[in-house]
A and B are shown apart, each in its own frame.
Chain A
Amino acid sequence: MFTILLKKELFVEFRNKEVVLSMLAFGVAVLLIFSFSLSGDPKINHEMAPGLFWTLVILSSSLGLHRLFGQEKDFDAFASLIAAPIDRGTLYLAKWVSGIMFLTVTEFLIIMPFFLFLGLSLPITILPGIGIVLLGNLGIVAVGVIVSGLAMRAKMSAVLLPVLLFPLITPLLIACVKATIGWYHVLPFSQWQFWLLIMATYVVIFSLAGYIFFDHITEE
């Protein structure tokens, strides 16, 4: 059932390009503002890059997360979906995995302009950075699907989503920024491994909570 649900998520997004395009357009706009508002001093940009990157990610992802249930909301396909004899935890997992894919694709498209516009030097090692970003994505979308599912039935869901999302996501974002600083500024691993542990714990807690409680989250 997970495969069917995931395939549908990817197919609908492939047809509409609603989630990725909205995140990408917003991300590029934020990036342009960053590049024009910063001093242009590569040293300052280098110092601020981890924080700027995660600001860009969280602002863009909030837009994409809002549209994660957009197709279900428009024609109340969500009622047909949850009335079907499927485990709602599996539905959460499909939304989670597809959301991670959409966010990762957006980041992949935006990362080069990010380095280019801010005049940043490329990091020495890339793999740890990819790991940090993926772990951050896992956490952001784990919380995002829960919040988006909760906000979906609200009349002002576009307002409700960031109001609920940002306070919940703040501890994860702090950990993401700290881990990214450690990696990008080439600090000893022992100085930032703690933040990776926080991120991993956050991912486990929220993904499990989403899987277990999505049944209650989605019911009227």
Chain B
Amino acid sequence: MLSVTNISKSFHYKPVLKNIGFSLSPGETVALIGKNGAGKSTLLRIMAKISTPEEGQIKFNGKNILNGDASNRKGIYYCGHAPGMYPSLTASENLYYFSALHGYKSDLNKINSTLQNYDLSNSVNVPVKVYSQGMMQRLKLALLEIIDWSLLLIDEPFNGLDFGGQQFVIKKMDAWQDGKRSIIFVDHDIERILKIASRVIILNQHSIALDEQVDSPELKSKMKKLLN
């Protein structure tokens, strides 16, 4: 599904990523972890073609996404740290617009029922700039019910959420693991990662220090060692 080859990136001549390479099969849920500044968010942004690497190649379903046609990226959805929505638009307007950008013409009924399922129906007509962090996170995830994605790149989905919010996201991520769709997420909580992910990639010293399935022996101790 996704193959990342020799990705290198630096900011102001300071290397952030060096020769990163891995491949991803359909149905995998990969936790991308590492210390602060390890380059996790940068790697996600490169895979979403928001950031450009100095070297390397990324193929999605066999098609080059860094230099190829924009349509080669159809099916990839990036969900970053920031809200990533238009502050003056309402939830339904944002969903309508971003689903259109991803090539889906959704009707307002579907959008409204999705917002209801995500417990946002009470705030459907207010600009999203007044939303709390938890509401904004739910809104970003609601878009995933409207568009037909096959690879989700999600950066710290639990950041700033209360216990209920975290459980909500975990439930959704569980539901999306249908064997066809893949998820790459950034997180710091080892226990939670081991519950959600099927595979763990640890970035250390700008390179991949560990790439193992969650059922591999002594993974937890290896993760603790690399992250401390």
Q: Which of A4, A11, A76, A82 contacts B100 (CB 8 A)?
A: A4
Among A17-60, those with CB < 8 Å from B are none
Chain B residues near A77 (CB-CB < 8 A): 83-87
Query: Roughly how many angstroms separate A72 CA and B52 CA in the complex, as a whole number?
Result: 19
The answer to the question of B74 belonging to the interface, with a C-beta cut-off of 8 Å to chain A, is yes
Are A75 and B129 in contact, CB atoms less than 8 angstroms apart? yes
Chain A residues near B69 (CB-CB < 8 A): 87
Interface size on A, residues (CB 8 A): 27
Q: A95 CB to closest chain B CB, in angstroms?
A: 14
Query: Roughly how many angstroms separate A14 CA and B97 CA in the complex, as a whole number?
Result: 16
Chain A residues near B84 (CB-CB < 8 A): 75-77, 79-80
Query: Roughly how many angstroms separate A72 CA and B89 CA in the complex, as a whole number?
Result: 12
Chain A residues near B81 (CB-CB < 8 A): 76
A residues sitting closer than 8 Å to B (CB atoms) are 1, 4-5, 8, 11-12, 15-16, 71-72, 74-77, 79-88, 216, 219-220
Chain A residues near B100 (CB-CB < 8 A): 4
The interface residues of chain B, by DSSP majority, are classed as loop
**Considering only CB atoms, which chain A residue lies closest to B80 in the complex?**
A79
Chain A residues near B83 (CB-CB < 8 A): 75-77
**Considering only CB atoms, which chain A residue lies closest to B131 in the complex?**
A75
Are A79 and B76 in contact, CB atoms less than 8 angstroms apart? no
Are B85 and A85 in contact, CB atoms less than 8 angstroms apart? no
The answer to the question of B228 belonging to the interface, with a C-beta cut-off of 8 Å to chain A, is no
Are B82 and A75 in contact, CB atoms less than 8 angstroms apart? yes
Among B135-178, those with CB < 8 Å from A are none
Q: Which of B48, B51, B80, B129 contacts A76 (CB 8 A)?
A: B80
| Pairs A–B under 8 Å by Cβ, sample size 8 | A12-B86, A12-B88, A74-B129, A77-B83, A79-B78, A79-B80, A86-B70, A220-B50
